[in-house]
Amino acid sequence: MTTTAPSADLPVVLTMGDPAGIGPEIIAKALRARPALRRQVVVAGDLDTLRRAAALSADARSPAGSDLMWAEIEHLSQWRDVPEHCVAMVQACRIASPVPVGRISAQAGQAAADCIAWAAQAALRGEARAVVTAPVHKEALSAAGVSFPGHTEMLQSLAAAHLGVGVSQVPVRMMLSCPGLRTVLVSIHVSLRDALAAVTREQIVETLRITHQHFCQIGLAAPRVAVAGLNPHAGEGGLFGREEVDTIEPAVRQAREAGILCSGPHAPDTVFMRARQGAFDVVVAMYHDQGLIPVKLLGLDDGVNTTLGLPFVRTSPDHGTAFDIAGTGRASPGSLLAALDAALGSQGM
């Protein structure tokens, strides 16, 4: 699905994430580190949670978060009316009592889901330039009765409902990026056993199509796409498994016949290194951890998660809720800043 070019005159909606995690804290830190962002974003969250996070993350130069002033608005059309020294926010969720930091709870999961839904609907109505999402906790979402395992699947469902089509008609893929490496995944949040079953010719060709389309949209006319093998050494001609011979190679041939500049299957233990050295623009990985481990190893502090295939731009930090350090003031806003930069550039890395 083609992403409509967003207007630079619209704000980026930044969701709070799980209120028990580091999302609110890194939002405060990012807005503090880059004051210009305060005139470019609207935060979808809970006012009391954001105030608490600003206070927890304050330093000697900004006691009790006093350098961050929040201005609550009801509609994105009021965004430009907010005073320059304030950050616009929308009360996109309701939290009856303060959420304990660093703990899984249904209340936190529901609040996070409500913020995502609000932001997505705004983008689907054409009221937002892009959506940037702070981290959510999958167990908290489940505890709240949310049937989606993460952002990607939830946003896909919301987009399909808005367009009045089935979910399968809005095929999406997850792309993880850091400086020097970009990977797109064939399967996302499923067990390894189910991920192996998802390695089909159709799924691989669809991933290659979505990947090619994304890079063409951001100005790279002929992206060089490397396809990783599934088995060690890309199967060694069938010695270590038949998936490469029977499934991946035919998918690559089919995509090439459709005009996509792709190659493979390449040995998974070297293809990411080769991409980082400049041989390829992006690597298509067969399953979640195959693609995420190299990106997170190389660039956790500035990695970006981009959802390809949505009718709007969506990026996210390349890390989770970090309950172990939530509320300590130690969380780095680096990956969130990279996600905001990608969204503001409307390129998603």
Question: Do 283 and 311 reside in the same domain of the chain?
Answer: no
Cα 5 to Cα 88, 129, 130, 315: the distances in Å are 23, 9, 10, 15
Question: Do 214 and 316 reside in the same domain of the chain?
Answer: no
Query: Does residue 312 lie in a domain region?
Result: yes
Q: Which of 111, 96, 113, 107 is nearest to 143 (CA)?
A: 107
Q: Which tokens belong to 116?
A: 């995502």
Question: Do 110 and 248 reside in the same domain of the chain?
Answer: no
Query: Does residue 6 lie in a domain region?
Result: no
Query: Does residue 338 lie in a domain region?
Result: yes
Residue 6 pLDDT: 54
| Range scoring the smallest mean pLDDT among 204-213, 253-262, 337-346 | 337-346
Question: Do 26 and 96 reside in the same domain of the chain?
Answer: yes
Query: Which tens digits make up the pLDDT trace of 62-109?
Result: 554 457 899 999 999 999 999 988 999 999 999 988 899 999 999 999
Average pLDDT, the chain: 92
For the cut 90, the answer to whether the pLDDT of residue 347 exceeds it is no
Query: Does residue 244 lie in a domain region?
Result: yes
Query: Does residue 257 lie in a domain region?
Result: yes
Question: Do 166 and 185 reside in the same domain of the chain?
Answer: no
Question: Do 283 and 313 reside in the same domain of the chain?
Answer: no
Alpha-helical (H) ranges within 106-219 are 106-124, 138-143, 151-163, 192-197, 201-217
Contact indicator for 88, 11 with CB cutoff of 8 Å: yes
Question: Do 188 and 254 reside in the same domain of the chain?
Answer: yes
Contact indicator for 69, 85 with CB cutoff of 8 Å: yes
Q: How many domains does the chain have?
A: 2
For the cut 80, the answer to whether the pLDDT of residue 8 exceeds it is no
Residue 318 is part of a domain; what is its CATH number?
3.40.718.10
| Range scoring the smallest mean pLDDT among 23-32, 40-49, 188-197, 223-232 | 188-197
Question: Do 156 and 261 reside in the same domain of the chain?
Answer: no
- Domain range for 17 is 12-170+302-344
Q: Residue 12 and residue 130: Cα distance in Å, rounded? A: 5
Question: Do 247 and 139 reside in the same domain of the chain?
Answer: no
- Is pTM beyond 0.85 here? yes
Query: Which tens digits make up the pLDDT trace of 154-184?
Result: 999 999 999 999 999 999 999 999 999 999 9
Contact indicator for 99, 90 with CB cutoff of 8 Å: no
Residue by residue, DSSP assigns 37-106 as: GGGTEEEEE-HHHHHHHHHHT--TTSGGGTT-EEEE-SSGGGGGGS-TTEEEEEE-S--SSPPPTT---H
Query: Does residue 243 lie in a domain region?
Result: yes
Question: Do 283 and 320 reside in the same domain of the chain?
Answer: no
Query: Does residue 7 lie in a domain region?
Result: no
Query: Does residue 5 lie in a domain region?
Result: no
Among 249, 270, 292, the domain-final residue is 292
Question: Do 192 and 311 reside in the same domain of the chain?
Answer: no
Compute CA 109 distance to the chain's CA centroid, rounded to the nearest angstrom: 17
Query: Which tens digits make up the pLDDT trace of 301-310?
Result: 889 999 999 9
Residue 60 pLDDT: 47
For the cut 60, the answer to whether the pLDDT of residue 274 exceeds it is yes
pLDDT over 90, % of the chain: 81
Question: Do 252 and 156 reside in the same domain of the chain?
Answer: no
